[in-house]
């Protein structure tokens, strides 16, 4: 069983692009072996969300230095190695959560991929994406959908 | 699609920042704590039907959505002039106890325990929940995950979703609890209580039995003599869901006790030019600066302040734990910042006991779930204790119930001045001229604000999903002379 998980806050402008993409992707997937879900925080909760799946794809927002809004990046959890072992203010980090799950023999996906979309605004409350991201949204959706088809996450896409 | 590895520097843009200004001699002169501020929530709410707010506010923050949902529900009741029936109030409180249980478990084991079980100066690679489990055993780790998950599942059962809660409606709750569900919850409640008692014993064994830790709590820089705030019931016992706001002074004497709707008579907010986040203070005393003492307007609203502000806990075992805490510290009030971790565990036991009281109450499965709608009053205040402090929602509407204005004082905001002062004291204590700051020193500074369980940028979680921290050391001319970061 595969999980496609959108992470973000839908009322915080571009921060909600992950859940929005997952919602739209779910309409284009007939594969019964794929579950779609959304979450707004990581940490300990991520263990429960990933528990029991064979494979997981997380879709989130990202801000990088000099990044182009709408760029889509692909990571593996190892790409975040530098954040390992470190706590955050409210919860444990993503990688610490994964390590904790494995330590406690919780069934976590063998493969986890993280798709991240470069965003502009995540501090202002709004239901809408910023105009540059909104105008690029169809191609962002297509890029991610094509990737998931190529990777056979979507077997029977429409 | 590009494969990249993030440059760590980029993750720090706009995130938590501590600026430490040093004297020419290299000692700490001042400390500024800056966090990103989310903008426009009040405007986002304006023009919407007020009953929508209890659902929208759960998205302000992914960490304490249940608290916002409860405060909003109470404010909306007031806007409609409604008093929920007893069953609805008890279901709300049952939900809220589960919310406290999951949050307090997560904070203690993931954030507080590493500093004590593993050690405040331990290598950062070990000073985390994995290090805690390595010391106390996998069985404890499994139980942490299990108890937290059960508390989350109960919130989902009652509220429809554990984060995006849809429990409260004007004057009540949207659905009740069946007898079958109640029976399911009885053994879970017993498990909560057992685990809370275990957690308190762990604190005794690991922290109180270690004289170094006790000295650090009592004698170190982690003390702040300020006023204490908390909600209390009619017997002046701690209450998370309802009651009057009580403020006790630095000597433990009641200073104010007021209904939440009067909060603006007692609380004012100060703006400083170096941060977007405001600094609430006691209006009747006035803003006297970032200073401690009886004449200061600074207060805190934390698990420890709640215990300071009350005369006890409303459940028997938690009340015993309450008495033990204060007798250990030589009476009330306690000003030891790190004692907040102990207070949080006393509250965990209270939440578990109260959960069990509610689940045994025959009214919990009652069928009267909401009051009938009447005329719109047009203004309402809802106040609860969030895990991180007293949370107040204040809404105004027009005659149709459309929102015209919103004001929210978030739990952590109450503590903003106290956090800044605690950081400065810790920094002054651990940073000395001629000693090169390192991650251990950074952690000892962080411990000062970690105790508050702060929730500043909680709704912003774009990758990497946590709040990095940057510490800049500046000389007397304001030039950065050293930077330490915690990603």
Do B92 and B122 belong together in one domain? yes
**Would you say residue B397 lies in a domain?**
no
Report the gap between the CA of B398 and the closest CA in chain A (Å). Answer: 23
Do B149 and B187 belong together in one domain? yes
Do B192 and B122 belong together in one domain? yes
Give all domains of chain A, ordered by start, each with its CATH number.
2-150 (3.40.50.1450)
| CB spacing of A99 vs B39 below 8 angstroms | no
| Cβ neighbours of B484 (radius 10 Å) | 17
| CB spacing of A114 vs B464 below 8 angstroms | no
Q: How far apart are the first and last CA of chain B?
A: 25
Nearest CA among B230, B390, B208 for reference residue B305: B230
Question: pLDDT at position B25, please?
Answer: 82
Rounded-to-10 torsion of CA B358, B408, B237, B76: -40
- List the 60-119 stretch of A: residues with Cβ below 8 A of B: 60-65, 71-75, 79-80, 82-94, 96, 99-100, 103-104, 106, 114-116, 119
* B61 has pLDDT over 50: yes
Query: A13 — contact with chain B (CB < 8 Å)?
Result: no
Do B433 and B309 belong together in one domain? no
SS3 labels along B142-198: HHHHHHHHHHHHHHHHHHCCCCCCCCEECCEECCCCCHHHHHHHHHHHHHHHHHHHH
**Would you say residue B204 lies in a domain?**
yes
Give the mutation candidate from B13, B462, B468, B471 for the A interface (greatest A CB count, under 10 A): B462
Per-residue confidence at B128, pLDDT binned at 50, 70, 90?
confident
**Chain B residues in contact with A79 (beta carbon < 8 A):** 3-6
Query: B139 — contact with chain A (CB < 8 Å)?
Result: no
Do B206 and B117 contact (CB within 8 A), yes or no? yes
Question: pLDDT at position B13, please?
Answer: 36
Q: Phi then psi for B480, rounded to 5 degrees?
A: -70, 125
Query: Which of A11, A42, A86 shows the shortest C-beta gap to B461?
Result: A42
| CB spacing of A43 vs B110 below 8 angstroms | yes
| CB spacing of A91 vs B458 below 8 angstroms | no
SS3 labels along chain B: CEECCCCHHHHHCCCEEEEEEECCCCCEEEEEEECCCCECHHHHHCCCEHHHHHHHHHHCCCCCHHHHHHHHHHHHHHHCCCCCCHHHHHHHHHHHHHHHHHHHHHHHHHHHHHHHHHCCCCCCCCCCHHHHHHHHCHHHHHHHHHHHHHHHHHHHHHHCCCCCCCCEECCEECCCCCHHHHHHHHHHHHHHHHHHHHHHHHHHHHHHCCHHHHHHHHHCCCECCCEEEEEECCCCEECCCCCEEEEECCCCCEEEEECHHHHHHHEEEECCCCCCCCEEEECCCCCCCCCCCCCCCCEECCHHHHHHHCCECCCHHHHHHHHHHHHHCCCCCCCECCHHHHHHHHHHHHHHHHHHHHHHCHHHHCCCCECCCCCCCCEEEEEEEECCEEEEEEEEECCCCEEEEEEEECHHHHCHHHHHHHHHHHHHHHCCCCCCCCHHHHHHHHHHHHCCCCCCCCCCCCECCCCCEEEEEECCCCCEEEEEEEC
Average pLDDT over residues B64-77: 95
Report the gap between the CA of B289 and the closest CA in chain A (Å). Answer: 26
| CB spacing of B460 vs A122 below 8 angstroms | yes
Total domains present in chain B:
3
Do B427 and B459 belong together in one domain? yes
Average pLDDT over residues B363-389: 95
Tell me: the pLDDT tens digits for B256-296? 999 999 999 999 999 888 777 889 999 999 999 999 999 99
Average pLDDT over residues B308-333: 97
Query: Which of B41, B44, B463 shows the shortest C-beta gap to A60?
Result: B463
Report the gap between the CA of A6 and the closest CA in chain B (Å). Answer: 11
| CB spacing of B106 vs A44 below 8 angstroms | yes
Question: pLDDT at position B16, please?
Answer: 60
pLDDT: is B443 or B186 the higher one?
B186
**Would you say residue B377 lies in a domain?**
no
* B465 has pLDDT over 90: no
Per-residue confidence at B65, pLDDT binned at 50, 70, 90?
confident
Question: pLDDT at position A34, please?
Answer: 93
Do B265 and B189 belong together in one domain? no
Do B238 and B165 belong together in one domain? no
Per-residue confidence at B126, pLDDT binned at 50, 70, 90?
confident
Nearest CA among B334, B247, B362 for reference residue B296: B247
Nearest CA in chain A to B450: A89
Do B90 and B210 belong together in one domain? yes
Query: B461 — contact with chain A (CB < 8 Å)?
Result: yes
**Would you say residue B46 lies in a domain?**
no
Report the gap between the CA of B47 and the closest CA in chain A (Å). Answer: 14
Mean pLDDT of chain B: 88
Do B104 and B207 belong together in one domain? yes
**Would you say residue B188 lies in a domain?**
yes
Do B287 and B321 belong together in one domain? yes
The domain of B419 spans: 8-36+415-486
**Would you say residue B340 lies in a domain?**
no
Do B205 and B252 belong together in one domain? no
- List the 107-136 stretch of B: residues with Cβ below 8 A of A: 110-111, 114, 124-130, 133
| CB spacing of A79 vs B6 below 8 angstroms | yes
Q: Which DSSP helix (H) or strand (E) runs through A35?
A: strand A34-39
| CB spacing of A11 vs B56 below 8 angstroms | yes
Cα separation, B442 vs B456, in Å, equals 19
**Chain A residues in contact with B463 (beta carbon < 8 A):** 60-62, 114, 116
Give the mutation candidate from B13, B45, B416, B464 for the A interface (greatest A CB count, under 10 A): B464
| CB spacing of B4 vs A64 below 8 angstroms | yes
* B487 has pLDDT over 60: no
Cα separation, B155 vs B138, in Å, equals 26
Q: How far apart are the first and last CA of chain A?
A: 19
- List the 23-52 stretch of A: residues with Cβ below 8 A of B: 39-45, 47-48
* B382 has pLDDT over 80: yes
Tell me: the pLDDT tens digits for B175-234? 999 999 999 999 999 999 999 999 999 999 999 999 999 998 987 789 999 999 999 999
**Chain A residues in contact with B455 (beta carbon < 8 A):** 89-90
| CB spacing of A41 vs B7 below 8 angstroms | no
Report the gap between the CA of A106 and the closest CA in chain B (Å). Answer: 9
Q: What is the mean pLDDT of each run of 10 residues along chain A (158 residues)?
A: 90 91 89 87 81 93 83 79 38 79 92 90 89 97 93 70
Nearest CA in chain A to B388: A90
**Chain B residues in contact with A124 (beta carbon < 8 A):** 38-40
**Chain B residues in contact with A119 (beta carbon < 8 A):** 462
* B473 has pLDDT over 80: no
**Chain A residues in contact with B101 (beta carbon < 8 A):** none
Question: pLDDT at position B461, please?
Answer: 36
**Chain B residues in contact with A146 (beta carbon < 8 A):** none
Tell me: the pLDDT tens digits for B5-41? 444 333 333 456 778 888 888 888 888 887 766 778 8
pTM of the predicted structure, to 2 decimals: 0.90
| CB spacing of A64 vs B125 below 8 angstroms | no
Cis peptide bond prior to B461, omega within 30° of 0? no
Do B189 and B268 belong together in one domain? no
Question: pLDDT at position B28, please?
Answer: 86
Nearest CA in chain B to A17: B462
Average pLDDT over residues B40-65: 87
**Would you say residue B45 lies in a domain?**
no
């Amino acid at each position: 069983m595969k999980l496609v998980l959108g992470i973000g806050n839908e009322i915080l402008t571009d921060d909600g692009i992950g859940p929005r993409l997952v919602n739209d992707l779910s309409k284009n997937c007939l594969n019964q072996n794929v579950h779609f879900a959304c979450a707004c925080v990581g940490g300990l909760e991520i263990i429960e969300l990933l528990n029991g799946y064979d494979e997981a794809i997380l879709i989130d927002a990202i801000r990088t230095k000099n990044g182009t809004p709408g760029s889509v990046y692909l990571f593996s959890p190892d790409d975040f190695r530098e954040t390992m072992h470190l706590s955050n203010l409210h919860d444990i980090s993503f990688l610490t959560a994964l390590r904790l799950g494995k330590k406690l023999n919780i069934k976590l996906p063998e493969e986890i991929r993280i798709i991240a979309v470069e965003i502009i605004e995540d501090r202002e409350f709004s239901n809408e994406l910023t105009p540059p991201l909104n105008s690029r949204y169809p191609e962002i959706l297509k890029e991610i959908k094509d990737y998931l088809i190529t990777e056979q996450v979507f077997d029977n896409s429409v | 699609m590009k494969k990249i590895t993030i440059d760590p520097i980029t993750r720090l843009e706009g995130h938590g920042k501590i600026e430490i200004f040093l004297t020419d001699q290299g000692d700490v002169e001042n400390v500024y704590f800056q966090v990103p501020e989310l903008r426009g929530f009040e405007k986002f709410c304006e023009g919407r039907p007020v009953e929508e707010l209890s659902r929208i506010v759960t998205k302000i923050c992914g960490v304490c959505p249940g608290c916002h949902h409860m405060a909003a529900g109470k404010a909306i009741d007031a806007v409609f002039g409604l008093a929920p029936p007893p069953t609805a109030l008890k279901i709300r409180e049952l939900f809220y106890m589960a919310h406290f249980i999951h949050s307090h478990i997560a904070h203690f084991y993931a954030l507080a325990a590493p500093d004590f079980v593993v050690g405040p100066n331990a290598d950062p690679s070990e000073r985390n929940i994995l290090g805690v489990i390595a010391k106390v055993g996998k069985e404890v780790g499994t139980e942490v995950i299990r108890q937290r998950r059960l508390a989350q599942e109960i919130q989902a059962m009652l509220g429809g979703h554990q984060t995006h809660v849809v429990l409260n409606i004007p004057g009540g709750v949207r659905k009740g609890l069946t007898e079958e569900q109640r029976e399911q919850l009885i053994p879970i409640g017993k498990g909560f209580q057992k685990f809370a008692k275990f957690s308190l014993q762990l604190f005794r064994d690991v922290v109180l039995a270690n004289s170094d830790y006790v000295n650090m709590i009592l004698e170190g820089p982690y003390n702040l003599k300020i006023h204490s705030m908390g909600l209390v019931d009619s017997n002046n016992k701690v209450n998370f869901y309802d009651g009057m706001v009580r403020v006790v002074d630095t000597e433990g004497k009641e200073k104010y006790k007021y209904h939440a709707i009067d909060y603006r008579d007692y609380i004012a907010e100060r703006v400083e030019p170096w941060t977007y986040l405001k600094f609430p203070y006691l209006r009747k005393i006035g803003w006297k600066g970032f200073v401690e003492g009886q004449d200061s307007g600074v207060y805190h609203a934390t698990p420890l302040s709640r215990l300071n502000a009350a005369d006890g806990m409303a459940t028997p075992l938690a009340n015993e734990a309450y008495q033990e805490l204060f007798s250990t510290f030589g009476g009330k009030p306690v000003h030891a910042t790190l004692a907040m971790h102990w207070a949080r565990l006393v509250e965990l036991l209270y939440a578990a006991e109260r959960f069990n009281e509610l689940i045994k109450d025959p009214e919990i499965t009652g069928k009267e779930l909401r009051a009938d709608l009447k005329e719109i009053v047009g203004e309402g205040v809802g106040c609860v204790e969030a895990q991180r402090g007293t949370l107040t929602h204040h809404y105004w509407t027009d005659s149709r119930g459309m929102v015209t204005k919103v004001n929210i004082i978030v739990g952590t905001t109450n503590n903003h001045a106290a956090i800044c002062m605690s950081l400065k004291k810790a920094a002054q204590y651990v940073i000395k001229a001629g000693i090169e700051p390192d991650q251990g020193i950074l952690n000892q500074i962080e411990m000062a604000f970690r105790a508050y369980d702060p929730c500043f940028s909680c709704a912003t979680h774009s990758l990497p999903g946590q709040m990095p921290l940057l510490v800049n050391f500046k000389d007397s001319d304001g030039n950065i002379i050293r930077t330490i970061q915690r990603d």
